[in-house]
Amino acid sequence: MGCAISGLAAKAEFGERNTEDAAAAAHPSEGQIQMIKDSWKVIRDDIAKVGIIMFVRLFETHPECKDVFFLFRDVEDLERLRTSRELRAHGLRVMSFIEKSVARLDHLDRLEALALELGKSHYHYNAPPKYYSYVGAEFICAVQPILKERWTAELEEAWKTMFQYVTSLMRQGYHEESTRQRHLTLTPKDRPEKRNTAL
């Protein structure tokens, strides 16, 4: 299950950023957008396969992520997941999000709205931001063998930039939703603005 990602660029680059600088993650450049779109045309033919490989790898390398999934947390034998209809369906949902993201690279305001919403829904799935960067790393490992000699260090950098951009927005959405929920559960007398008006 090795992956050449570490040979092309340090895996640490995919690591968790803190919340402050995460909000400022750069979007892909025009050249990178074109590279991502061209490679997506090839990846698209194998999206079901990529979705499954990506999640099986994610659960192998980070078993703590499997525990977040109600459907998969009790599955001990990860090989069984390769033929699971549920994992196939879930993988396809995630790949379809990536497809939408690629399509919106020319309309970053629309991509931003989509990724913020996804981060908010992940708050409700109990999937915290510290895990998001793993998905991009596993996506890269899963698509390399499909793109074969078309895979280059520049293309890897382009996909990394896109994932860092999207996951920083997801993280922002997650934190916004967590703040909103905390606010909702506070009693009126505990809310800061109520305390201020009472002064």
Neighbours of 128 (CB within 10 A): 13
Report how far residue 162's alpha carbon sits from residue 100's, in angstroms, rounded to the nearest whole number. 12
- Determine contact, residues 80/52, Cβ cutoff 8 Å: no
Pick one of 41, 85, 93, 148: the residue that binds ligand HEM (CB under 6 A): 93
- When asked if residue 69 is in the footprint of ligand HEM (CB under 6 A), the reply is yes
Supply the DSSP symbol for 10: -
x-or-dash pattern for ligand HEM, window 98-127, by CB under 6 A? Answer: --------------------x--xx--x-x
- When asked if residue 194 is in the footprint of ligand HEM (CB under 6 A), the reply is no
- When asked if residue 78 is in the footprint of ligand HEM (CB under 6 A), the reply is no
x-or-dash pattern for ligand HEM, window 150-169, by CB under 6 A? Answer: -----------------x--
Element holding 102 (H helix, E strand): helix 85-103
Report long-range pairs for 44-48 (Cβ below 8 Å, ≥24 apart).
44/99, 46/146, 47/91, 47/92, 47/95, 47/96, 47/99, 48/88, 48/91, 48/92, 48/95
- When asked if residue 94 is in the footprint of ligand HEM (CB under 6 A), the reply is yes
Pick one of 88, 92, 97, 116: the residue that binds ligand HEM (CB under 6 A): 97
Residue ranges in contact with ligand HEM by CB under 6 A: 65, 68-69, 90, 93-94, 97, 118, 121-122, 125, 127, 131-132, 134-136, 167
